[in-house]
Structures are given as structure tokens and as C-alpha cells.
Amino acid sequence: MTTVSPAMPAPRKRRKRMSWWRVAERAFLYVLVVFLVVLFVAPLVWGFLASLRDPSAGVSGPPIPEDLRWDNYRYAWDGAFPFATYLWNTVVITLIATVPAVLTSAFAGYAFARMSAPGKNMTFLFVLATTFIPVSIIFIPFFWVVVKLNMYGTRWPWFIWGIAGSAFLIFFYRQFYAGFPQALDDAAALDGCGHIRTFVQIYLPNSIAPLVVGFVILGTGWWGEYFYAQLLLPDQTLPLGPKIAGGYTDPGLQIVLPAVTLAGSFLFTLPVLIVFFLLQKRLTQGIVTTGVKG
């Protein structure tokens, strides 16, 4: 009769004690993160508290005002000008300049990454080189073209910018689509798909995360646009940025009210923050793995 010896218990693994160097390194990283958070959040907190001060008192005084003037936000909304009207103008300009640009940039990035054509690399380098051209150099000829085409005072220039795409986004999407496996293109070719159908039915549905990233990056820039809007649009179609940048004034004394101007700035920033928090999961998703697994 054979006896079976009981199994020996597995030896417990000793926890490795963290060295003083690792503890100091981790503590330094935590301190650095807290410092950066305070560095970026402190101006926002100060601006919010300053927007609740007495409108005629400026922004000097104790950090927390004794009398919180919430009426500053009401005056910022419907006091000096119709806030909602210019907010809607901002939404329209942002959408017509961002949505077409994201789509055309994605298709251009797909073409540079997955299609073969003579001179493709040189054309791609030329597209990247346009990002180094200062706005002050191209604005005068662009303004002349806008006037000659009778588009001055209209939103058509923003739509043309949207159709033209963004050089940065083209580079971004080109790098993204270059990582897709060749098997996707081969399977699409076997099904008789051309490049447009392959892009629309395969690549575009698997590009939700980078499309959201492009929309947020480009849309944030157009949301706060000031230079072109101030020079190309009449007052009734201006976005909100130039109106708030002019400052809120007292209708009687005609002096700038800093507290109300800060309140209007916070109302102007609030939609961008809401969109960012709603899309933050998409911004942090894995891009290539998420698309290929589906």
C-alpha cells in the first residue's frame, strides 16, 4: 500500500521593502503632480472668486469676497449684449470649421498611409511644411481672395478652411492609419471595395477615438477664435470671443467692469469644459487596439 505524502505548502513570497531611493522618488512625483495641479487650477479658482466681487471694485482685495455678487453672471448673460446670440454664432463657426476639417483630414491621412501614388512622400512633406508658415504672411493674400470672391462678411471662409483640412490632423491620422494591418485592405479588396468604400466602411468606424481627439483639438481652437472673426465678420455674426475681449462696461459711466468680464469669460468657457468631460473617455481610449478588436 502506497502512501501519498501531503503536498507541501508553497513558500510565501516576501514583500520587497522599498528602498529609500524609491520612496523619495515616488514622493517627489506626488509633490510634482500636486504642484502642477495647483499651478493650473489656482488661476481658475482666483478668476471665479474675482468674478463674484463688486463690479465697480476691480479684482483687488481678499481672495474670497465678503459679498458674493452672483448678479454679475446675470448681467454677463443679458446685460451689455445678447450673450446667447453670440454664443450661437460661436457654435456655428466652430462646427462648420471643425467637422469638415476632421473628416477631410482623416481621408487625407488614410490616402497618405494606405494608398500608393508617385510623389506621395514629397506631397506629405509639403503639407507638413505649411504648418511653419506664419499667419501674418498669408493673411493679406487670403483677405484679398476673400474680398474678390465676395465672401467678406460671411461665414464661407470658415467652411473653406474646414474643407481644406488641417495639416496637423492629416499627420495625426496618417500615423494612426499606418498602424492598421494589411489584412483589412486585402479583405476589402476581395469584397470588391474601392478606397472610398474601404475608408467609409472599415477605417472610419474604427477611428472614433482619434476623430474625437481631432474634434476636441481643432474645435477648441476655433471656439476661442478672435483674429479672423474680428477682421472678416460684421458685429451681428461675430463669435463670443471678440465681444468678451472688448470687456463689459457700465452703461452709465462707460468704465470696464472686470468682475463681470470674468463672469462672461467663465460662461464662455463652460461649454468647452462640458464637452471635454463628456468625451474624456474617448480621449483616453486605446486607438489601434480598440479598432482592430471590433
The answer, yes or no, to whether residue 159 has pLDDT greater than 60, is yes
- Rounded Cα distance between 233 and 242, Å, is 11
Per-domain boundaries in the chain: 21-74, 82-246
The answer, yes or no, to whether residue 266 has pLDDT greater than 60, is yes
- Rounded Cα distance between 114 and 178, Å, is 7
Sign of CA dihedral 29, 31, 34, 38: negative
Average of per-residue pLDDT across 164-188: 87
What pLDDT does residue 93 have? 94
The answer, yes or no, to whether residue 291 has pLDDT greater than 60, is no
The answer, yes or no, to whether residue 293 has pLDDT greater than 50, is no
> Are 216 and 209 within 8 A, CB to CB?
no
Going by pLDDT thresholds of 50, 70 and 90, the confidence category of residue 285 is low
Mean pLDDT value across the chain = 83
More confidently predicted of 252 and 151: 151
The answer, yes or no, to whether residue 290 has pLDDT greater than 90, is no
Torsion over CA of 190, 194, 197 and 201, rounded to 10 degrees?
30
What pLDDT does residue 294 have? 40
The answer, yes or no, to whether residue 262 has pLDDT greater than 60, is yes
Of 75-89, 233-247, 280-294, least confident by mean pLDDT is 280-294
Strand partners, 65: none
Distances from the Cα of 207 to the Cα of 55, 129, 149, 245, angstroms: 47, 25, 36, 36
> Are 259 and 51 within 8 A, CB to CB?
yes
DSSP 3-state of 24: helix
- pTM for this model (two decimals): 0.79
On the 0-12 / 13-18 / 19+ scale of CB atoms within 10 A, 243 is: buried
Q: Helices 258-283 & 20-50, crossing angle to 10 degrees?
A: 140
Q: Which CATH superfamily is domain 82-246 in?
A: MetI-like (1.10.3720.10)
What pLDDT does residue 292 have? 45
